[in-house]
Amino acid sequence: MKKFLLFILLACICQITFSQNPKDTEAPDQAIFVYGGNMNLKFTRYVAELTQKEDPKICFVPTASADNESNIKLWQSYCEKLNIEPHVLKVWVASDEANLSFEEQLLAMDAIVVGGGNTLNMLAIWKAQGIDRIMKQALKKGIILAGGSAGSICWFQSGISDSRPVNLSVVEGLAFLPYSHCPHYAKEEKKTLYHQMIKDKKMACGYACDDRAGILFKNGKAVEFISQSDLHNSYMVKMENDRVQARKIESKYLLKPNALAKNEFTSVSVNKKLKDLLDMTDKADPLYAFVSEMKKVRLNKEGISEAERNKVLNLKVKNTFLYGDKLLGVLNDFYDDFDGMWYFYKHNGRWKSIGEDIGGNTLFESEITFRERAKMCIESGVKKFNQTLTTKN
Catalytic residue list: 149, 184
Q: How many other C-beta atoms lie within 10 A of the C-beta of residue 247? A: 10
Parallel, antiparallel, or unpaired for β 177-182 and 206-209? parallel
Distance between CA 35 and CA 210 in Å, rounded?
8
382 Ramachandran zone, left/alpha/beta (phi>0; psi -120 to 50): alpha
Q: Which amino acid, 8?
A: I
Non-local (6+) Cβ contacts of 349 within 8 A are none
Distance between CA 123 and CA 91 in Å, rounded?
12
H/E stretch holding 290: helix 286-294
SS3 label, residue 356: strand
Could you tell me the end-to-end alpha-carbon distance of the chain, in angstroms, rounded to an integer?
98
Nearest Cα neighbor of 136 from 145, 128, 147 is: 145
Please, what is the angle between helix 131-141 and helix 119-129, to 10°?
A: 90
Name the burial class of residue 82, with classes exposed (0-12), middle (13-18) and buried (19+) by CB atoms within 10 angstroms of its CB: middle
220 Ramachandran zone, left/alpha/beta (phi>0; psi -120 to 50): left
Please, what is the angle between helix 41-51 and helix 69-82, to 10°?
A: 60
Q: How many other C-beta atoms lie within 10 A of the C-beta of residue 10? A: 10
Distance between CA 374 and CA 249 in Å, rounded?
29
